[in-house]
Amino acid sequence: METRHLYDSSVVDMHLVVDWGNSRLKTGWFAGQDLIEVRLYESVEALLDDFIKRPVKQVLVSSTSRPAEEIRSGFTGLDTNVQILDSQTPVPIRKAYDTPATLGADRVAAAVGAVTLFPGQDCLTLDLGTCLTADVVDRESVFQGGLISPGIHMRFRAMHEQTARLPLVDVPIDLAEAWPVLTARNTRQAMQSGVLNGLAMEMNGLIENHRRERPGIVVLLCGGDASSFESRLKPPIFVVPELVLIGLNRILRYNVENLQANTPDVNA
């Protein structure tokens, strides 16, 4: 479990968002719009054990890999409203997407995070996770779609598994200090160069094309490998590691506010 920031149990308006990716659970503990703490968990059980010590009233779960109901069931008996983000969940953006039921919750959350931080502007989100996703949400808060491409580790595995002799290699430990040269002189480094320089060129090509089509578009980079690529992309670039969590929090608040607005006042 990894912890960042500080949880403040004295804050009344605390709520939790859960981004359940392909490897682990990333959680954001918010006070209103402010991100107070980020925690990473290896299992649902670890999250629930911790939650009991620090309960909140509202939880939103986004899952790209496992049934989110697994988390909801764990909250049974607790005084907590757990929402599951799916294609039917109201969100504060519109979707110009042919198959909204197949649109990943993480892509939606990143788009909502972008318009939360940069309202009224065209935004391109680049999320470097298991896959690279590159999506556009326009100045009218309409999700215009995007692309999905293999992520770093998937590219390394594919070269190893789909060939007879290429080794399984990985990212250098300190990528900032050991970025691979473009013209490598051994196979291992050539594979690292192909994946990392190739991915940087791919993203720069996307950025260039979107800037040509939408002058002034804001480019936001997020995901586990985002910081390693910041200096490799054409500025200006905004690196927002917690963009998906920010978007999930906005979606949670949006639904809570709508519920409150539509709840009759029994004292009226």
Q: What is the set of active-site residues?
A: 106
One-letter amino acid at 88 equals Q
Binding positions for K(+): 127
Pairing verdict, β 25-31 and 14-20: antiparallel
The Cβ-side half-sphere exposure at 67, using a 13 Å CA radius, reads 5
Binding positions for ATP: 19-26, 130
CB atoms within 10 A of CB 112: 26
Percent composition of the chain: helix, strand, coil (DSSP 3-state, to 5): 35, 25, 40
Binding positions: 19-26, 97, 104-107, 127, 130, 187
Binding positions for substrate: 97, 104-107, 187
- CA 84, 88, 93, 98 torsion-angle sign: positive
End-to-end CA distance of the chain: 47
Distances, alpha carbon 109 to alpha carbons 1, 93, 101, 141, in Å: 23, 10, 14, 13
